[in-house]
Amino acid sequence: MGIESFRRVPFILIKIIIPENMSCEKTMRYLIQCGHKQFLPYLKVLCTNRYCTEVKPETKSNPTLWRKPWAHKEGEWFSMFRLFAPEKGGSLEVIRILQNNINFSPQAIQKWIKKTKREASILDMKYIPERHDILGSNLAAAHFLVHRGAAIRFVGSTEWIKRQGDEYDLPNKYNPDYLVEAIDILDMKLYYEGFQNMTNLSSLQWLSLQNCVEVDDWFLDKISCEYQSSLEYLDIGNCVQVSHRGISALYRMSKLRTLKVHNIANSQMFQLACLMLEDIHPQLNIEGVTYLDSENQSV
Amino acid sequence: MFISTMFKAVNTFKCRKFIKVKFVNLYKNACFCTNKSEVSSSYEPPKPENPFKRTFRILGNDMKTAKNKVQSFITKVQGVREVTNKVPKSPYRDGVFPEHCDIAIIGGGAMGSSIAYWLKQRAPNAITVTVIEKDPSVNQNIVSWGQYVDASTVLSVGGLRQQFSLEENIRMSLFGAEFLRNIKQHLSVEGHDPPDVQFTPFGYLCLASEEGAQQLEENANLQKKLGAKNELLTPVKLKQKFPWINTDGIALGCHGLENEGWFDPWSLLYAFKTKALSLGVEYVDGEAVGFEFKKMPDMLTEGVEPGSYEAVEKVLVKTESGELRSIKFGFVIIAAGPHSARVAKMARIGTGEGMLSIPLPVEPRKRYVFCINCKNGPGLNTPLTIDPSGAYFRREGLAGNYICGRSPLPEEEPSVDNLDVDYDFFDKNVWPILAKRVPAFESVKVKSAWSGYYEYNTYDENGIVGPHPYYTNLYIATGFSGHVIYVSMLQEFNIHRLLVEASWK
């Protein structure tokens, strides 16, 4: 083997950024881990995964270890093999997957399909900060909704922007003149997680969530927080998961004029909540509730 | 040859005797001693059952259940509907008292049950979990009040809020809100109705006087930074939004806008418990009265004199029938709420030397909650209002009922011997403040009241979660004094650390 054979070996460029202030052992370990990540992306399942809600790496605080493991103490010796030892042990996810008996019965498969579809749609609705950075809140919300089947109307215009096949007509760059005034959900299945894409809509006056079965009390909580100072019309007809507790949460919305609650379970508590809501906001008019006679109502 | 057979015979005899002696000593070699005097009366550890007797007993039970199954199958086939249950159904999962488990959790309230749930969630078939709860718990499918009479979980007001000053607390409550929102996905069990915690979304309104205004503003900014939504209100705006309020002495108010409210803690606890049971957790009705220790002279730990280490190996449980049994565990988690300090003392935390000399700083404190009725009280727009003096009240239902209470001042702490309610406390300490803050509360009627124990952390009033420095297999999760409801959902971080660092090393 001479210099010629060395030159013939293909040269693989590895791009690794080593942060400063790392001890020698940590640097070595970091290099090995980077190597893992670069060359074995399809074995991601074997890396230690945090099984929990999304925590951004910057905000995740490292718990201070007040006791050093034995090998890190002064005077303790360890061999080079320690560099390849995993710091935290095997991943629990792997063990769990290996130990689970996969249920192949038709009901279980149906359940699994339903669950996966639901998770996929929720993931689809995740908040993407880049969209808001590039387009601004109003246009970002507009793109998000129209792409998935809802209809939008902007301030100053009377036509509804809907999706025709796969195309719709919305500007691609930030334009401060476009302010969302009205949203009609139509056929789209809106999940709570998708609501974060609709923040900061300061001119939203008209909102219709009719026929959206996922709407429940948490939704109303979020709506009353986000649009408390601008919303004038809210339609939650056929949203059967809403209860009287959600209705009473709408007390924060000071500008609400019309509230439509058709076909939601008309229990006495619900009617009472509607009455009390109308009490606080005199300009509010609730449609879709049939009140009993005043003698039958319990105060 | 004769000699060699004789020799063999003698040998085998010796061997048998040797094996017998060793065998008998095998289950006696644990050097145990229970904690005497201080907390509970001294308990003698139960004698271990003869293994032969145990084997035959279990085999006998198996025969009986098999026979029962065959009989019931035959009667089903024949179309005869008989409801005979010859063998009394044992309350335990396998028909026998669980004498071994991987992880024992002392305390089956919201904390304990949620720890059990998260543990089993992560590793359903890898570990066995046993929860020891002293309050008679529901073993049937029927929901009945009156169970868990003494437990703090069900007596709490069940609030969820993000208005804390500590970052960890804010994060925990945000996680808790998300968990509650998705509770149907997390805690549904097949064959049962999906759990419904009846979450009422309502904000918390924290009022502050001049001195506290600065702190309140800082807290509000911290919460906003971490994702909680709230708004700061001046007295003028407060009056606008909530016309029933009297803003004397108020400099600032912080109104939580999202993910705050209250819910039914009993249904949450029940949901956790049924899900844990369905995942394979064993619930034992009994009270932990002591620990058994094992000397480990070759264990070297920092801060401990070499040769003197003693680990906790078994927990002594006094069952409902008065029997004393012991459960051998790999790890134990103390989640006993207000009684955690007492349990920790059984493990010598507080009475030992060195690291064990520091007791667990958790005390039970009694708190009263009063339910009052006011005909002309504030209407729908009543968040849970917290006065600067510590008194709070919130709307309950839609018929003019309110729930109120107040943390007593340090010198007025009521005694914790029993759960009796002191109605004078309401007249002297709670009502004057409420009447001042809300003029409509001048005329109220106390409808009912109850009291419960807080697990008060005397060190800094926050929770204690994590392993104990001396013991490698003892974890503590307690001290959350009132926030336990949604902190219980966060036990997965505790569990992650437990499983990943400790058991998988």
Out of B259, B380, B505, name the one closest to residue A251 (CB).
B380
Looking at residue A75, its pLDDT comes to 65
Identify the band that residue B142 occupies on the pLDDT scale cut at 50, 70 and 90. very low
Give the pTM: 0.76
Nearest chain A Cα distance for residue B460, angstroms? 19
Identify the band that residue A86 occupies on the pLDDT scale cut at 50, 70 and 90. low
pLDDT (tens digit per residue) in B294-348 = 888 888 777 778 888 888 888 888 888 888 888 998 888 888 877 888 888 888 8
Out of A48, A222, A248, name the one closest to residue B380 (CB).
A248
Question: Higher model confidence: residue A35 or residue A266?
Answer: A266
Looking at residue A41, its pLDDT comes to 45
pLDDT (tens digit per residue) in A25-69 = 666 666 666 665 555 444 443 333 333 333 444 444 444 555 556
Looking at residue A58, its pLDDT comes to 42
Question: Higher model confidence: residue A89 or residue B154?
Answer: A89
Judge whether residue B440 has pLDDT over 70. Answer: yes
Looking at residue B294, its pLDDT comes to 87
Judge whether residue A278 has pLDDT over 50. Answer: yes
Q: How far apart are CA B498 and CA A240, in angstroms?
A: 42
Contact A280 B398 (CB under 8 A): no
Contact B469 A67 (CB under 8 A): yes
Which residues of A are less than 8 Å from B188 in CB distance? none
Tell whether B123 is within 8 A of chain A (Cβ).
yes
Tell whether A291 is within 8 A of chain B (Cβ).
no
Lowest mean pLDDT among B30-34, B53-57, B149-153: B30-34
- Report which DSSP code applies to B429: I
Looking at residue A113, its pLDDT comes to 92
Question: Higher model confidence: residue A14 or residue B190?
Answer: B190
Judge whether residue B490 has pLDDT over 60. Answer: no
CATH, domain A137-298, list 1.10.260.40, 3.20.20.110, 3.80.10.10, 3.40.309.10: 3.80.10.10
Average pLDDT of chain B, as a whole number = 75
Looking at residue B210, its pLDDT comes to 86
pLDDT (tens digit per residue) in A196-213 = 888 888 888 889 888 888
pLDDT (tens digit per residue) in B202-229 = 888 888 888 888 888 888 888 888 888 8
Query: Could you tell me which of B360, B166, B183 has the C-alpha nearest to residue B264?
Result: B183
Looking at residue B483, its pLDDT comes to 57
pLDDT (tens digit per residue) in A204-250 = 888 988 888 888 888 888 888 888 888 889 888 888 888 888 888 88
Looking at residue A281, its pLDDT comes to 85
pLDDT (tens digit per residue) in B258-272 = 888 877 777 888 888
Judge whether residue B140 has pLDDT over 60. Answer: no
Question: Higher model confidence: residue B83 or residue B344?
Answer: B344
Average pLDDT of chain A, as a whole number = 74
DSSP string, B166-225: SHHHHHHHHHHHHHHHTHHHHH--TTSPPP----EE--EEEEE-HHHHHHHHHHHHHHHH
Contact A225 B398 (CB under 8 A): no
Contact yes or no for B197/B180 (Cβ under 8 A): yes
CB pairs under 8 A between A and B: 95
Question: Higher model confidence: residue A74 or residue B58?
Answer: B58
Nearest chain B Cα distance for residue A148, angstroms? 23
In this prediction the ipTM stands at 0.71
Residue ranges covered by each domain of chain A: 2-42, 137-298
Looking at residue B446, its pLDDT comes to 84
Identify the band that residue B2 occupies on the pLDDT scale cut at 50, 70 and 90. low
Q: For chain A, what is the HEC assignment?
A: CCHHHHHHCCCCCCCCCCCCCCCHHHHHHHHHHHHHHHHCHHHHHHCCCCCCCCCCCCCCCCCCCCCCCHHHCCCCCCCHHHHHCCCCCCCHHHHHHHHCCCCCCHHHHHHHHHHHHHHHHHHHCCCCHHHHHHHHHHHHHHHHHHHCCCEEEECCCCCCECCECCECCCCCCCCCCCCEEEEECCCCCCCHHHHHHHCCCCCCCEEECCCCCCCEHHHHHHHHHHCCCCCCEEECCCCCECCHHHHHHHHHCCCCCEEECCCCCCCHHHHHHHHHHHHHCCCCEEECCCCCCCCCCCC
| DSSP-derived pairing of the beta strands B261-262 and B159-160 | antiparallel
Residue B492 is inside which H or E element, if any? helix B491-496
Contact A51 B122 (CB under 8 A): yes
Q: What is the mean pLDDT of residues B413-433?
A: 78
Which residues of A are less than 8 Å from B400 in CB distance? 299
Phi and psi of B448, rounded to 5°? -160, 170
Question: Higher model confidence: residue B419 or residue B108?
Answer: B108
Contact A67 B261 (CB under 8 A): no
Query: What are the residues facing A42 on neighbouring strands?
Result: none
Looking at residue A71, its pLDDT comes to 59
Looking at residue A17, its pLDDT comes to 53
Query: What are the residues facing B455 on neighbouring strands?
Result: B364
Looking at residue A55, its pLDDT comes to 41
Looking at residue A164, its pLDDT comes to 82
Radius of gyration of chain A, Cα coordinates, nearest whole angstrom: 28
Judge whether residue A110 has pLDDT over 80. Answer: yes
* CB contact set of B351 (below 8 Å; sequence gap of 6+): B35, B38, B345, B357, B359
Judge whether residue B232 has pLDDT over 70. Answer: yes
Identify the band that residue B13 occupies on the pLDDT scale cut at 50, 70 and 90. low
Tell whether B378 is within 8 A of chain A (Cβ).
no
Looking at residue B307, its pLDDT comes to 81
pLDDT (tens digit per residue) in A131-168 = 888 888 888 888 888 888 888 888 888 888 888 887 78
